[in-house]
Structure 1
Amino acid sequence: MLRPLFDGARRYHAEALRRIDRAHLVMLVETGILGAAQGAAIAGALQAMDREIRLDDLAYGGDVEDYFFHMERELKARVGPDIGGRLHTARSRNDIDHTFLKLGLKPRVDRLLAACRKLLATLIEVAARDRDVLIVAYTHGQPAQPTTHGHYLAAMSEVLIRDMERLEAARAIVDLCPMGAAAITTSGFPISRQRVAELLGFAAPQRNSYSCIAATDYLTSVYSAIVLLFLHLGRPIQDFQFWSSFEVGQLYLPNAFVQVSSIMPQKRNPVPLEHLRHLSSQAVGRARAVVDVMHNTPFTDMTDSEAETHEMGYQVFDVAQRVLDLLTATLQACRIDSERVAANLSRSCATITELADWLVRSEGLSFRQGHEIAAEVARAVVAMSGDLPTDGYPAFVLAFERHVGRKPVADAAEFARMVSPEHFVAVRDRFGGPAPAAMDPALAGYRVALDAFAARAAAIAAREAAAADELKRRIQDVAKGG
């Protein structure tokens, strides 16, 4: 039963355990808990073990409980049980476990955030490119109003920014170091928890020692944020599938992004969208499973939150990376079929809301009156399979006269201009709208957010690289008796 745990630690967490040993040893020597000669002996043995032990050659034999005890036995065999046993002063497998699990989780979250930044950059880039490219916006599965592809992708950008902020917040919880909590209550030795956290590249030590070994919210926060990220991405992916259908045809994917049927030569199957939908669901389902494992577990140290659960969660990151990479590439490659958009806008009378609005602004009617006139015009145009700008004016005049008792001010040319999709978008220049006056500052704001994400990631990477260099330097000093 314990062999998978041994193999998992050897495969996934050996480097983190190696770093923990060294950081703890440096701290023990710097605080005087261990003497310089004792520290040098342990450091030299740890360095020799690095050179001489091939992890792939290690196999679980049942003679020790786990990977930690295997390596401790190896250390004691090299320097003797008295010296070798001193490395474990003022620590426990409890704080060690959650520390190496956090060290394993942080780079995975970082890679996921890096992929999110690429996706966000692509959304902003394509939104700017297609700022003025019309699409049909749907509500309840039916054509609703014209907007632009840029406006739609800007909405995706906003949600992604919030999802990335949630993931960053979860990562900040992971970035608190449990070392020094020992089993539950810290230690009577004069340890420096701050120093170990610094050497391991954490932002700070986690304050409450009970929380260090009992609170699994670093785990549930990460995977809950992932659930939301891919649940939210799955919704526009579903839209893209709908938009690319033959009947709608609003979204065109180039040949490199389609597969042909093995029997029907006319088929262009946009399978990347199916993969994106299915893999997003995989990410959501697997991440939920990790969170659910924590349900009704005791608030204490327990195996439920440890290695096997984390290793199950690592699969989430593999699937998530595939989704983000494929979605980024798909967004860069796809194009809006403007002819199909124009036809669908025309057939559906999707600009008719502007007719009702215009009647309020220009004819002084109430919106309800304008809505009733516009509805009659839309029914007439749809019944004749006509085009609203060119075929709707006679129906408009009849409906207007019936409801108002006089002729409208607008002639046929003004009517056609007013119900055009270009006009519809252009007048919606209020904060958050699709017109350029609203879109340009929105895109600028998203770029600021993207730059801030990148700056924060760079600062974390620099801090952790500096910590790795410091740990390497100090363990060499300790090995020399310094």
Structure 2
Amino acid sequence: MSRHADPRLSDASVFPDPVYKETVLRPLFDGAKTHHVEGFRAIDRAHLVMLTETGILPRETAGRIARALDEIDAEIDPAALSYTGEVEDFFFLIEAELRKRLSPDDTGCLHTGRSRNDIDHTLFKLALKPRLDRLAAKLRALIAATLALAEREKATLIVAYTHGQPAQPTTFGHYLAAAIEVMLRDHERLMQARELLDLSPMGAAAITTSGFPLDRARVAQLLGFAEPLENSYGCIAAIDYVTATYSAVELVFLHLGRLIQDLQVWTAFEVGQLYVPNAFVQISSIMPQKRNPVPIEHLRHLSSQAMARARLVRDVVHNTPFTDMNDAEGETNEAGYQAFATGERVLDLLAALLPSMSVDGRRVAENIRRSCITITELADTLVRREGLSFRAAHEIAASVARAVVALDGDLPRDGYAPFLEAFRHHTGREPALTAGDFAGVVSPENFVAVRERFGGPGPQALGKALAGYRARLDAADGAAADIAMREQAARQELDAAFAALMETA
């Protein structure tokens, strides 16, 4: 053959190449039949109803197509299908089945005004919405469980840490309230991503919509979307619905991982301020004394897996062109679905584990004693009662803490004598604080009680915060219920409209 000959003239190859079939087409087909059958079904039906209502297709033609689609649903079990290569993908399988049941004039009518481009992105959104809804519901369940625990433990003292060291006393409820705030914000990010998922790409066709008078809003309504996504190029190119969804999912588990890490440290023998009940403890095969809270380890690595799988999706689409492309489609989304599956396990387990845990008050008291972490309140009190500058008060308090720690003593009991010495040294006078006043000031109960500022652990401040979180959670539950009702109504409307088409003579 001449080196200048057109290779198309001598190309005798037949699609699909066996290797391409096994490495790409079969996995894509299997993914579609596993995850997107119901989406294909809904899109075909909604598009057909719209084509009929707009007059693009005669009702008699639409009726025949509707009956053929119904026969395909009744006769073909997608789960039992094996990819043969006779058709390119699941979409063309349905088209091939329609050809078997319809006349040549009717066969291609269903595809009027649409493309695999807008179909694919609609499929992915239809698949992501229920996954995100389930994850969000489980996150709300975790928030509810954590909120109940925070209310139960709102007065229970714990040691709060900074930089891995004992810092100040607070309550377990106050600590959990901080985690609840993050979870609520994470839930809001999930719902913001869902708003993008709720915009329908159908009607964008390949890139520029169509010359046919499509009713994009009607298709969106029938498919349970809030409304159509406006720009048709963006419908097939702007995959920010993918990146926003998986970014929100990633943050859920990145943030929970930090909470889980605290659980791991706080249940360690050396700290021991949290107790894990036997139901969540595994024993050693050789060391009889061991109590291993292994579920916390599983929570840690599973949250990392969920986070990493969500990040994988974002990383795959980095530096891809702003157009329709496979990088953000079938197999990338399928990989992302694993983030949801793993994440749901984390949320279920954490929602069960957290309420079962309890604070070991003896260990907390001992750690407070050993660390002198109430000493900050002594400095604050010296400013308020003795009229000292905070820097002078801080130096006096630091001297007291060093002396008590050196004695391995107890601050309320053993700290007054070092306090008197340090106070006299720095001020040249006697303090107004008596020994009884001193003991009360440096008690952990007083430390918490006086911190009634906005966001603090004081009983009134914390109680108000928890009530606010409860209201936000109730509102989120209500919004989710409203979405579910709207989408259920859309399914019923689509079913009724499609059934009416099948009755057409």
TM-score in terms of structure 2 length: 0.95
Structure-2 residue corresponding to 1:392: 415
Query: 1:385-439 CA deviation, whole Å, 9 max, x = no partner?
Result: 0000001111111111111111211121111111000000000001110001101
User: Does 1:289 find its partner at 2:312?
Assistant: yes
Structure-1 residue corresponding to 2:274: 251
User: Does 1:203 find its partner at 2:236?
Assistant: no
Structure-1 residue corresponding to 2:115: 92
The one-letter code of the counterpart of 1:94 is N
Give the Cα separation in 2 of the matches to 1:479 and 1:236: 55
Give the Cα separation in 1 of the matches to 2:223 and 2:138: 25
Give the Cα separation in 1 of the matches to 2:334 and 2:187: 23
Give the Cα separation in 1 of the matches to 2:238 and 2:152: 46
Structure-2 residue corresponding to 1:142: 165
Give the Cα separation in 2 of the matches to 1:386 and 1:452: 50
Give the Cα separation in 1 of the matches to 2:132 and 2:497: 28
Q: Alignment partner of 1:137: what SS? A: strand
Query: 1:53-106 CA deviation, whole Å, 9 max, x = no partner?
Result: 111232211111111001111011101232021000000000000001110000
Give the Cα separation in 2 of the matches to 1:360 and 1:55: 75
Give the Cα separation in 2 of the matches to 1:222 and 1:281: 17
Structure-1 residue corresponding to 2:342: 319
User: Does 1:401 find its partner at 2:401?
Assistant: no
Q: Alignment partner of 1:202: what SS? A: coil
User: Does 1:383 find its partner at 2:406?
Assistant: yes
Structure-2 residue corresponding to 1:32: 55
Give the Cα separation in 2 of the matches to 1:275 and 1:319: 11
User: Does 1:108 find its partner at 2:155?
Assistant: no
Query: 1:446-469 CA deviation, whole Å, 9 max, x = no partner?
Result: 011101110110010000000000
Structure-2 residue corresponding to 1:161: 184
Aligned-residue offset at 1:39 = 0.5
The one-letter code of the counterpart of 1:443 is L
Give the Cα separation in 2 of the matches to 1:311 and 1:122: 31
Give the Cα separation in 2 of the matches to 1:240 and 1:219: 32
Query: 1:119-173 CA deviation, whole Å, 9 max, x = no partner?
Result: 1111111111001000000001100000000000000011111111011000110
Structure-2 residue corresponding to 1:268: 291
Give the Cα separation in 1 of the matches to 2:489 and 2:259: 40
Give the Cα separation in 2 of the matches to 1:308 and 1:299: 19
Give the Cα separation in 1 of the matches to 2:113 and 2:433: 86
Q: Alignment partner of 2:105: what SS? A: helix
Give the Cα separation in 2 of the matches to 1:125 and 1:195: 43
Give the Cα separation in 2 of the matches to 1:272 and 1:372: 44
Q: Alignment partner of 2:284: what SS? A: coil
User: Does 1:436 find its partner at 2:462?
Assistant: no
The one-letter code of the counterpart of 1:151 is H
Query: 1:302-339 CA deviation, whole Å, 9 max, x = no partner?
Result: 11111111110010011100111111111110000011
Give the Cα separation in 2 of the matches to 1:48 and 1:236: 52
Structure-1 residue corresponding to 2:481: 458
Q: 2:395 aligns with which of 358, 366, 372?
A: 372
The one-letter code of the counterpart of 1:9 is A
Query: 1:18-70 CA deviation, whole Å, 9 max, x = no partner?
Result: 00000000000000000011011000111111111111232211111111001
Worse overlay, 213-222 or 401-410:
401-410
The one-letter code of the counterpart of 1:98 is H
Segments of 5+ residues of structure 1 without an aligned counterpart are none
Aligned-residue offset at 1:252 = 0.4
User: Does 1:221 find its partner at 2:215?
Assistant: no
Q: 2:356 aligns with which of 310, 320, 333?
A: 333
Structure-2 residue corresponding to 1:212: 235
Q: Alignment partner of 1:275: what SS? A: helix
What's the RMSD between the two structures over aligned residues?
0.8
Give the Cα separation in 2 of the matches to 1:446 and 1:127: 11
Structure-1 residue corresponding to 2:25: 2
Superposed counterparts of 1:3-18, under 5 Å:
3-18=26-41
Give the Cα separation in 2 of the matches to 1:243 and 1:4: 45
User: Does 1:68 find its partner at 2:68?
Assistant: no
Give the Cα separation in 2 of the matches to 1:228 and 1:18: 33
Aligned-residue offset at 1:355 = 0.4
Q: Alignment partner of 1:145: what SS? A: strand
Q: 1:130 aligns with which of 150, 153, 178?
A: 153
Q: Alignment partner of 2:373: what SS? A: coil
Q: Alignment partner of 1:249: what SS? A: coil
Q: Alignment partner of 1:154: what SS? A: helix
Q: Alignment partner of 1:2: what SS? A: helix
Structure-1 residue corresponding to 2:370: 347
Structure-1 residue corresponding to 2:100: 77
Q: 1:310 aligns with which of 333, 339, 351?
A: 333
Give the Cα separation in 1 of the matches to 2:245 and 2:44: 26
Q: 1:42 aligns with which of 44, 60, 65?
A: 65
Q: Alignment partner of 2:405: what SS? A: helix
User: Does 1:180 find its partner at 2:194?
Assistant: no
Q: Alignment partner of 1:138: what SS? A: strand
User: Does 1:422 find its partner at 2:445?
Assistant: yes
Structure-1 residue corresponding to 2:6: none
Q: 1:298 aligns with which of 314, 321, 335?
A: 321
Give the Cα separation in 1 of the matches to 2:61 and 2:315: 45
The one-letter code of the counterpart of 2:358 is R
Q: Alignment partner of 1:374: what SS? A: helix
The one-letter code of the counterpart of 2:366 is A
The one-letter code of the counterpart of 2:414 is D
